[in-house]
Amino acid sequence: MIKAILIFNNHGKPRLSKFYEHYSEDTEQQIIRETFHLVSKRDENVCNFLEGGMLIGGSENKLIYRHYATLYFVFCVDSSESELGILGLIQVFVETLDKCFENVCELDLIFHVDKVHNILAEMVMGGMVLETNMNEIITQVDAQNKMEKSEAGIAGAPARAVSAVKNMNLPEMPRNINIGDISIKVPNLPSFK
């Protein structure tokens, strides 16, 4: 079973957290911090699995993670999940996000928390894998968007806001997420460390 799905950036700022077991709000925040410390200190190119932190159940649980440019995607799972299977699932998740947001970047996750949650809900439910077929997931998300559009009408108007915000002076400039083999144009942005 998947216990939690966490996404945070290179500085440990959470971008998505979804817990499938009940923890208090404080504990959830501590788990995010602990997980960030465990994962971020690891070199690139080491293995993608490690034992979970103490807060989330210690050695009984595994953290399976992938690092894409500015973001860490971490799944915390128990022994009933296949490690490589989850690794593949992370890839499906990111590819789906990339298709839905067209060259997904960190800002998309920030400004569309609800959408990311919806996409995730199409894949994982109550800690179990619901759907792994990317086309199926995208079909569902598309259908939702259509419904949303038809309901939104004039209310959904102020659209230019986001592009305006994206060009504001931001402390962490996003880089595009590098996904495996899909070719993504990486814009020339200064990197912030």
Residues 13-32 close enough to bind another protein by CB under 8 A: 14-18, 20, 22, 25, 29, 32
Minimal distance, residue 33 CB to another protein, in Å: 9
Kindly list the distances between the CA atom of residue 20 and the CA atoms of 28, 33, 78, 91, 128, in Å, as whole numbers in the listed order: 11, 18, 12, 20, 9
String marking each residue 33-72 x if it binds another protein according to CB under 8 A: ---------xx-xxxxxxx-----xxxx------------
Among the residue ranges 69-77, 79-87, 183-191, the one whose residues contact another protein (CB under 8 A): 79-87
The whole-angstrom separation of Cα 49 and Cα 84 is 9
189 part of the interface to another protein, by CB under 8 A: no
Nearest to 176 by CA among 102, 73, 66, 74: 102
Smallest distance, another protein to C-beta of residue 132, A: 5
**Helices H, strands E: what count in the chain?**
6, 7
Quick one: CA dihedral 179, 183, 189, 193, positive or negative?
positive
**The one-letter amino acid at 62:** K
- The site map against another protein for 138-167 (x = CB under 8 A) is x-xxxxxx-xxx-xx--xx-xxxxxx-x--
Query: Of 22 and 185, which has the nearer Cβ to another protein?
Result: 22
* DSSP 8-class letter at 46: S
The two tokens of residue 160 are: 């230019």
Nearer to another protein, 131 or 187 (CB): 131
- The interface with another protein within residues 87-126 (CB under 8 A) comprises 87-89, 91-92, 99-102, 108, 110-115, 117-118, 121, 125-126
